[in-house]
Amino acid sequence: MSLTSLMPFVSVAIMFVFALLVFRRYAVRRGLHLLLWGIGLVMYGLGSFAEAYHAVAGFNAFVFRLWYLFGAMLVAAWLGQGTVYLLVHRRIGGVRIAHILMAVLLLGSLYGAFKVFSAQLDPSLMPGESLSGHAIVTSGVRILTPFFNMYGTVTLVGGAIYSAFVFWRRRILPHRMVGNILIAVGALAPALAGLLSRVGLTEFLYLGELLGAILMFAGFLQATVEATEPQRQASEVPQLP
């Protein structure tokens, strides 16, 4: 087994511990953003689990579909939706914009799941040993992915950069500012790896996902360090996570 094939195992372990901590935080504090982040992290873990399974047992159609749906298509958008719930409080016609976007994301996710699970697969079309969307033969499936990922990148990375900027500008909670920078870098790592994968450099995909898992977890731990009383009093701005 190559070093690349071992990386998803580490990502799985990190992501499920990460998800557990976020769900525990949700159980104590509530907040839909924590619930959405927890679900997104489980999706990340499922994607990494599928990669680890593929490394051990070879191609399995059901596991591949799980990987593509959760690991390639939905994960960024659902994590980003958590950030939307945290930062977007405006309403249109009395309805929270975040709820409207959630409804669109849910419908889109159901449609994506239907397309992925009804698609024809040909694993011989995958260029390397890593899982790749090239195995999906049916048209109209892989083209959905960039729409989800654009939404996820704008909301998750954009939200983290925005929050870090707010903390920096107001000179408050530096640990949360650092945490948000780590989360932004961590979220960009798999996005960049996906970009490299598209131009044929598939060997960077698992590395990008592992770096993303490590950096986002480090960012979460950094951002959730308890603030001192003066810091808490000075803090009245949106916070991630």
How many Å apart are CA 89 and CA 181, to the nearest integer?
Answer: 23
Backbone angles phi, psi at 121, to 5 degrees: -120, 145
Instruction: Indicate which single residue of 89, 120, 125, 174 sits in contact with other proteins (rule: CB under 8 A).
Output: 174
Q: Closer to other proteins at the Cβ: 34 or 197?
A: 197
Neighbours of 9 (CB within 10 A): 17
Report if residue 145 touches other proteins, rule: CB under 8 A.
yes
SS3 assignment, position 91? strand
Report if residue 109 touches other proteins, rule: CB under 8 A.
no
Cβ-based burial of 190 (10 A; exposed 0-12, middle 13-18, buried ≥19)? buried
The one segment of 3-11, 87-95, 163-171, 206-214 that binds other proteins by CB under 8 A: 163-171
For 199, the token pair is 């131009």
Neighbours of 221 (CB within 10 A): 14
How many Å apart are CA 81 and CA 70, to the nearest integer?
Answer: 15
Q: Closer to other proteins at the Cβ: 38 or 130?
A: 130
Least Å distance between CB 143 and other proteins? 6
For 131, the token pair is 């899982």
Q: Closer to other proteins at the Cβ: 35 or 191?
A: 191
Find the binding residues for other proteins in span 210-229 (CB under 8 A). 227-228
Residues that bind other proteins (CB under 8 A): 72, 132-133, 142-143, 145-147, 149-150, 153-154, 157-158, 161, 164-165, 168-169, 171-172, 174, 177, 181, 184-185, 188, 191-192, 194-195, 197-199, 227-228, 230-231, 234
